[in-house]
């Protein structure tokens, strides 16, 4: 299937299917992209994205740009795809797509940032429909070269790094350019290096973490029990090499990590404050890399001030966390750990330091979770719990090493929780406290049971290739060893724990289907917005109900909407561990035997909105192109599997007969009766509501336009049948685990809308 890298603040992910040598979309511009304009495009109305597409209408030179997170890919068999429609006023023969390449740090290429321009020929294209043009990357006319076509001079590595896509009219042109661009995609048959960010859907589903009583909860008050990994000291060579995005990609997609920890060294050699801050910028940039990668993978990230004497650098800590919180404070992904492991400092000293740093963070970020280290290597959580910090969203650090620590340390944690504070295990090891020794399998299992019972988040130490027992990668293999699963005994054991954490935590909860609803996507009732958003709820056809197995269809089961079936909402009371298009099946037909129907067009997108459905249920939104499912029936099947938690497939049907107003009881035939019915119910100066059966285009008015639509869709010898489907689902009960560390499929095309 196509994999669409997350490169914008908001983007729709388009479906495609698994195939040998399948094409991969590594970057895309559409109407939801964040962009800036220049030249004539600065004229009001010259660029309009209100419909979800990019409508461009300019009479002279101008352009727009989309800044991207760097996207790396090979140019082997790579092309541009431009989906567009010519406007009625267009006089231009072409326009230009810009691709800006950045070779990146370590490159010796003189062309560190090179703009490649590709001409889109508009001659002979139709004004009546969208068309997709494919353009090879070897025909750039600006620099007469293909996009990053040769290796760098000295290092022998092609550092493909697309950092910007743009559109513009031809330089010097005075012809009017009038086009609607649906998307510009960079499509390749080669995977992006490092695998790209995995769509983990952890933070989007759960939002900001918060302390409620003595637990860390998600935004909706459900227990958070995340499993993940801590990187090694950023300033030492065994750890520094892992401060790259590929590390987080691997941990999120293959290890199922719901959380990663960036452990920035402070006072030690090469650290943030060492030698009067000589390497401060370098260390901060490493942390930013991990934060950015965590956001791209939709997992949580602990920003750890990895110090044993943080109170000695209070001013520097304030400056660091001020910078991070000002940059990332609006992201629910970020958790601040202001002190790693005090040693012999008193709690009063630690608390005074922590309160100073917390105050600086709260200026920029009033509500993200903060974790504070506790006395004696973050073990004496009971001491801290007797005099807690007043900030309401603070948890307290517990560190353990299974080869050294046992029940006495767990007792301290129990005391702390009984005193009403929340605990966060930001670091734990499978071996002895000095990092060496063999894996203490029995003790680890006891500790994992403890974390499960008390719903504690935890991150294993450490992602490194240091020659010691606690490292997860074999010595001297670096990030390639991580990606290639060349792991130590501890690494193999920890990967199993983190990957299967959904098997360690949570209890079975039964939930049921709340609602299956059709809505008029892109109508006046949802603001004429084809993209999924909360306004879709205003376009629900409340007079329509799904057809189920064994029932005979009636007018309540099909719509008359001119755009066919282009939007469905599915509400479930509860949640699941992760879904993608493979968890659904769609077929279309017009008889009683759905098993013989053909595959339906895949939805453009599936989106998820937590707690947005009826009664606070979770909502899934499915969106199709206008008109691709019209004048027929659609079968929707949610498959029973481990990810959905369904004990049986859930199957339902909706139909569409454009212009049919319910005038026939034997079939959904559109005929003269429907024309007369619409004519007889013209709304004049008044508007109508969403359930008015005569408003065929759902623009809130019944007028000559609706009459014309009916006339143009008369059934003739064909009509939509009132079917009685002979195959369907049994029970419709969900079983799911409420924890948020569950394993999710990496191929998902979910986006979040309106929590």
What does the pLDDT read at residue 738?
29
Examine the pLDDT at 430 and tell me if it is beyond 90. yes
Judge contact between 37 and 47, C-beta under 8 A.
yes
What does the pLDDT read at residue 199?
40
> Tokens 């004539």 identify what position?
40
Least confident residue range of 271-280, 604-613, 627-636? 604-613
Judge contact between 7 and 163, C-beta under 8 A.
no
What percent of the chain has a predicted confidence (pLDDT) above 90?
56
**DSSP state, residue 540:** B
Tens of pLDDT, residues 242-252: 999 999 999 99
Q: The sheet that has 567-572: what strands, in order across it?
A: 733-736, 509-518, 567-572, 618-623, 605-609, 750-752
pTM (predicted TM-score):
0.52
Tokens found for residue 344? 């012999």
Residue 64's pLDDT band, with cuts at 50, 70 and 90, is: low
What does the pLDDT read at residue 560?
96
Residue 11's pLDDT band, with cuts at 50, 70 and 90, is: very low
What does the pLDDT read at residue 617?
79
Q: Which residue has the higher pLDDT, 755 or 417?
A: 417
What does the pLDDT read at residue 120?
83
CATH class of 24-195: mainly beta
What does the pLDDT read at residue 145?
47
Q: Measure the CA–CA gap between 251 and 195, rounded to whole angstroms.
A: 11
Tokens found for residue 68? 């991207």
Residues classed as catalytic: 341, 427
What percent of the chain has a predicted confidence (pLDDT) above 70?
75
Angstrom CA distances, 117 to 109, 143, 450, 650, stand at: 19, 8, 58, 49
Tens of pLDDT, residues 183-221: 777 776 544 333 344 444 688 777 899 999 999 998 878
Whether the ω angle into residue 304 lies within 30 degrees of 0, i.e. cis, is: no
Q: Measure the CA–CA gap between 298 and 280, rounded to whole angstroms.
A: 27
Residue ranges matching CATH 3.20.20.80 in the chain: 226-503
Of 368, 360, 317, 362, nearest in space to 338 by CA:
317
Q: Measure the CA–CA gap between 219 and 383, rounded to whole angstroms.
A: 28
Average pLDDT over residues 456-481: 96
What does the pLDDT read at residue 697?
97
What does the pLDDT read at residue 60?
60
Average pLDDT over residues 207-236: 92
Average pLDDT over residues 442-470: 95
Judge contact between 334 and 324, C-beta under 8 A.
yes
Average pLDDT over residues 641-657: 81
- Residues forming a β-bridge with 54: 181
Q: Measure the CA–CA gap between 169 and 183, rounded to whole angstroms.
A: 16
**422-438: burial string, b at 16+ Cβ within 10 Å, e else:** bbbbbbbbbbbbebebe
Judge contact between 44 and 35, C-beta under 8 A.
no
Least confident residue range of 60-74, 510-524, 599-613? 60-74
Angstrom CA distances, 191 to 4, 27, 482, 571, stand at: 11, 12, 18, 35
Examine the pLDDT at 67 and tell me if it is beyond 50. no
What does the pLDDT read at residue 591?
92
Q: Measure the CA–CA gap between 255 and 748, rounded to whole angstroms.
A: 16
Judge contact between 396 and 371, C-beta under 8 A.
yes
Average pLDDT over residues 700-714: 95
Instruction: State the architecture of 226-503 in CATH terms.
Output: Alpha-Beta Barrel (3.20)
Average pLDDT over residues 45-73: 61
Of 317, 327, 319, nearest in space to 292 by CA:
327
> Tokens 């399998």 identify what position?
441
Tokens found for residue 177? 């350019």
Average of per-residue pLDDT values in the chain = 81
Examine the pLDDT at 1 and tell me if it is beyond 60. no
183 three-class SS: strand
Least confident residue range of 76-85, 269-278, 328-337? 76-85
Task: Compute φ and ψ for 324, nearest 5 degrees.
Answer: -65, -45
What does the pLDDT read at residue 157?
38
Tokens found for residue 718? 């064909």
What does the pLDDT read at residue 755?
26
What does the pLDDT read at residue 115?
65
Whether the CA torsion 205, 211, 214, 220 is positive or negative: it is negative
What does the pLDDT read at residue 580?
75
Residue 16's pLDDT band, with cuts at 50, 70 and 90, is: very low
375 three-class SS: helix
Tokens found for residue 323? 């910078």
Burial class (CB in 10 A: 0-12, 13-18, 19+), 593: exposed
Average pLDDT over residues 412-427: 97
- 133 Cβ contact list (under 8 Å, min separation 6): 81, 82, 83, 84, 120, 121
Count of C-beta atoms within a 10 Å radius of residue 455:
21
Residue 304 parent element (H or E):
strand 300-306
**DSSP state, residue 555:** G
Work out the widest C-alpha separation in the chain, in whole angstroms. Answer: 89
What does the pLDDT read at residue 160?
44
Examine the pLDDT at 296 and tell me if it is beyond 60. yes
Whether the CA torsion 530, 533, 539, 545 is positive or negative: it is positive
Q: Which residue has the higher pLDDT, 688 or 206?
A: 688
What does the pLDDT read at residue 141?
55
DSSP assignment string, 86-134: E-TT---SEEEEEEEEE--TT---S-SEEEEEEEEE-TT--SSS-EEEE
Tokens found for residue 362? 């709260």
- Residues forming a β-bridge with 588: 598, 634
Residue ranges matching CATH 2.60.120.260 in the chain: 24-195
Task: Compute φ and ψ for 386, nearest 5 degrees.
Answer: -80, -15
What does the pLDDT read at residue 22?
43
What does the pLDDT read at residue 546?
94
- Residues forming a β-bridge with 473: 487
Average pLDDT over residues 713-725: 89
Of 456, 495, 514, nearest in space to 650 by CA:
514
What does the pLDDT read at residue 597?
94
Q: Measure the CA–CA gap between 520 and 530, rounded to whole angstroms.
A: 9
Alpha helices in 455-543 (DSSP H): 478-483, 489-499
HEC readout, 649-713? CEEEEEEECCCCCCCCCCEECCCHHHHHHHHCCCCCCCCCCCCCCCCCCCCCCCCHHHHHHHHCC
Examine the pLDDT at 228 and tell me if it is beyond 60. yes
Average pLDDT over residues 708-722: 90
Q: Which residue has the higher pLDDT, 608 or 676?
A: 676
What does the pLDDT read at residue 189?
57
Tens of pLDDT, residues 554-611: 999 999 999 999 999 998 765 555 667 888 999 999 999 998 999 999 999 988 877 7
Q: Measure the CA–CA gap between 734 and 65, rounded to whole angstroms.
A: 45
Of 77, 196, 65, nearest in space to 146 by CA:
77
Angstrom CA distances, 395 to 212, 322, 426, stand at: 10, 19, 10
- 358 Cβ contact list (under 8 Å, min separation 6): 338, 370, 372, 389, 391, 394
Examine the pLDDT at 21 and tell me if it is beyond 90. no
Whether the CA torsion 35, 36, 39, 45 is positive or negative: it is positive
Q: Measure the CA–CA gap between 172 and 480, rounded to whole angstroms.
A: 49
Which segment, 199-208, 285-294, 724-733, is predicted with the most confidence on average? Answer: 285-294
What does the pLDDT read at residue 195?
37
Tens of pLDDT, residues 130-172: 788 887 776 555 544 444 443 333 333 344 456 566 677 776 6
Average pLDDT over residues 254-260: 94
């Amino acid at each position: 299937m196509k994999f669409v890298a997350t490169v914008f603040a908001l983007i729709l992910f388009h479906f495609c299917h698994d195939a040998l040598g399948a094409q991969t979309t590594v970057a895309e511009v559409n109407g939801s992209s964040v962009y800036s304009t220049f030249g004539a495009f600065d004229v009001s109305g010259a660029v309009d994205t209100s419909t979800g597409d990019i409508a461009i209408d300019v009479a002279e030179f101008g352009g727009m740009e989309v800044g991207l997170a760097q996207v790396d890919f090979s140019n082997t068999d790579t092309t541009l795809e431009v989906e567009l429609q010519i406007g009625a006023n267009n006089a231009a023969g072409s326009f230009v797509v810009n691709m800006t390449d950045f070779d990146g740090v370590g490159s010796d290429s003189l062309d560190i940032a090179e703009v490649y321009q590709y001409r889109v020929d508009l001659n002979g294209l139709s004004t009546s429909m969208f068309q997709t043009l494919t353009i090879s990357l070897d025909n750039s006319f600006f620099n007469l070269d293909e996009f990053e076509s040769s290796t760098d001079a000295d290092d022998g590595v092609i550092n493909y790094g697309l950092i910007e896509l743009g559109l513009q009219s031809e330089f010097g042109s005075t012809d009017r350019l009038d086009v609607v661009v649906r998307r510009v995609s960079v499509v390749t048959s080669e995977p992006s290096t490092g695998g790209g960010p995995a769509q983990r859907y952890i933070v989007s589903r759960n939002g900001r973490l918060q302390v409620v009583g003595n637990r860390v909860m998600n935004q909706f008050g459900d227990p958070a029990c995340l499993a993940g990994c801590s990187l090694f000291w950023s300033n030492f060579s065994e750890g520094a090499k892992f401060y790259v995005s590929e590390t987080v990609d691997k941990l999120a997609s293959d290890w199922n990590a719901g959380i990663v920890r960036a452990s920035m060294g402070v006072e030690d050699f090469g650290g943030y404050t060492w030698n009067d801050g000589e390497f401060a910028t370098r260390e901060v940039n490493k942390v930013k890399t991990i934060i950015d990668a965590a956001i791209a993978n939709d997992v949580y990230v602990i920003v750890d001030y990895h110090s044993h004497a943080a109170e000695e650098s209070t001013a520097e800590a304030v400056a660091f966390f001020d910078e991070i919180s000002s940059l990332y404070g609006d992201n629910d992904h970020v958790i601040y750990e202001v002190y790693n492991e005090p040693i012999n400092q008193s709690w009063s000293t630690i608390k005074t330091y922590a309160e100073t740093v917390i105050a600086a963070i709260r200026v920029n970020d009033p509500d993200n979770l903060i974790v504070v280290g506790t006395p004696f290597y973050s073990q004496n959580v009971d001491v801290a719990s007797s005099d807690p910090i007043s900030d309401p969203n603070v948890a307290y650090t517990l560190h353990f090493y299974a080869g050294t620590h046992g029940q006495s340390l767990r007792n301290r944690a129990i005391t702390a929780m009984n005193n009403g504070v929340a605990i966060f295990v930001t670091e734990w090891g499978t071996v002895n406290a000095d990092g060496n020794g063999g894996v203490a399998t029995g003790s680890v299992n006891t500790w994992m049971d403890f974390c499960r019972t008390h719903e504690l988040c935890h991150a294993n130490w450490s992602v490194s290739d240091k020659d010691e027992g606690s490292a997860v990668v074999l010595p001297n293999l670096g990030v390639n060893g991580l990606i290639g699963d060349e792991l130590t005994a501890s690494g193999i054991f920890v990967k199993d724990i983190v990957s299967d954490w959904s098997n360690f935590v949570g209890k079975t909860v039964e939930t049921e289907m709340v609602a299956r609803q059709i809505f008029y996507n892109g109508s006046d009732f949802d603001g004429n917005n084809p993209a999924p958003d909360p306004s879709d709820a205003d376009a629900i056809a409340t007079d329509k109900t799904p057809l189920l197995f064994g029932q005979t269809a009636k007018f309540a089961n099909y719509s008359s909407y001119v755009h066919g079936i282009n939007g469905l909402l599915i509400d479930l009371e509860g949640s699941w561990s992760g879904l993608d298009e493979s968890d659904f099946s769609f077929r279309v037909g017009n008889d009683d035997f759905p098993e013989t129907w053909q595959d339906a067009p895949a939805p453009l997108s599936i989106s998820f909105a937590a707690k947005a459905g009826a009664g606070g249920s979770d909502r899934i939104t499915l969106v199709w192109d206008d008109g691709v499912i019209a004048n027929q029936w659609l079968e929707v099947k949610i498959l029973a599997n481990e990810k959905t938690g369904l004990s049986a497939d859930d199957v339902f049907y909706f139909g569409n007969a454009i212009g049919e107003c319910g005038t026939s009881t034997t079939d959904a035939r559109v005929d003269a009766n429907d024309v007369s019915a619409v004519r007889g119910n013209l709304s004049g100066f008044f508007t109508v509501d969403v359930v008015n059966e005569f408003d065929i285009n759902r623009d809130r008015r019944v007028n000559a336009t609706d009459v014309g639509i009916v006339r143009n869709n008369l059934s003739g010898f064909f009509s939509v049948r009132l079917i009685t489907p002979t195959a369907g689902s049994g029970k419709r009960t969900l079983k799911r685990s409420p924890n948020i560390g569950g394993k999710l499929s990496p191929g998902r095309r979910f986006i979040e809308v309106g929590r």
